[in-house]
Structure 1
Amino acid sequence: MKFSEMSVEELKKTPWFHNVEPEQLKSFDDFAAWLEAILHNPCNVWEENGEMFLIEIKQLVAKVNGLKIEIYPDEHPPPHFHVKSPNIDASFNIENCNLLKGEIEGRDKKKIEYWHKHAKPLLIEIWNSTRPTNCSVGAYQGT
């Protein structure tokens, strides 16, 4: 299920609650939980033409056997995700999981390829949800 389709109560249980539109919040407790999510998640406030936007600094997508998979908001083309561990710092294309930058051993690369095969919709959703309005790379278009 896409987080845009989830209820406020469902989103409170996810790392994405700070992305809820304020119009969806009904109670003081909802607003308090939302503020807590804003303060404790990797996001920042961006101001453009006098309007403020909440953007994510980076989003942890998943952990796979010690590998952290992250997406950063203000990025260069093509849409991609980062893989980090003590020995790995690499980025991969969201479309086809091709290695864009860095080095990674065959065993770990196979894990990422396997994970990507099943998690591509999640990567696309998170990529699209983390685009600030002035990002040079917009929403994922796919092929």
Structure 2
Amino acid sequence: MPTISVFYGIIIRMYFAPGEHPPPHFHVYYAEYKATVDIRTCELLEGNLPRKQLKLALAWAELHQEELMQDWDLVMNGEEPFKIQPLQ
């Protein structure tokens, strides 16, 4: 699963697998925590993160929603996603 961004100890990944289940989403990892975020709504789908890291990940997703959807389209076609600028 390619890493598409890393910031403040938060790792953002997207499965590189055609046919990955909808809705369009990405995976967030922070220490021992894991979560899945819906790209279209920028809401937590499952898992959990500490409050601060969840806010950072969701803010990042809102800023890069268009790029995340482009990456989702790529991985659905079996192509590697592009890296996305980290939150600064």
Shorter-chain TM-score tier: 0.7 to 0.9
Could you report, residue by residue, the CA deviation over 1:62-95 in whole angstroms, capped at 9, with x for unpaired residues?
Answer: 0021111011033211110000122221100000
Please name the residue that 1:78 is paired with: 23
Please name the residue that 1:110 is paired with: 55
Aligned residue identity for 1:129? L
Task: Write the distance in 1 (CA, Å) between the matches of 2:49 and 2:31.
Answer: 12
Task: Write the distance in 2 (CA, Å) between the matches of 1:90 and 1:68.
Answer: 11
After TM superposition, the score normalised by the length of structure 1 is: 0.49
Give 1 or 2: higher strand fraction.
2
Structure of higher RCO (CA pairs closer than 8 Å, 6+ residues apart): 2
Q: Provide the secondary structure at the position in 2 that maps to 1:123.
A: helix
Match of 2:70 among 125, 128, 140: 125
RMSD between superposed Cα atoms in Å: 1.4
Percent identity of equivalent pairs: 29
Please name the residue that 1:97 is paired with: 42
Q: Provide the secondary structure at the position in 1 that maps to 2:76.
A: coil
Match of 2:4 among 48, 61, 67: 61
Q: Provide the secondary structure at the position in 2 that maps to 1:78.
A: coil
Aligned residue identity for 1:114? A
After TM superposition, the score normalised by the length of structure 2 is: 0.77
- Structure 1 unaligned runs (5+)? 1-57, 134-143
Determine if contact 1:61/1:123 at 8 Å carries over to the other structure.
no
Give 1 or 2: higher helix fraction.
1
Q: Which runs of 4+ in 1 moved over 3 A?
A: none
Task: Write the distance in 1 (CA, Å) between the matches of 2:71 and 2:16.
Answer: 9
Q: CA deviation at 1:104?
A: 1.3
* Paired residues, number: 76
- Structure 2 unaligned runs (5+)? 79-88
Q: CA deviation at 1:132?
A: 3.7
Q: Which has the larger radius of gyration?
A: 1
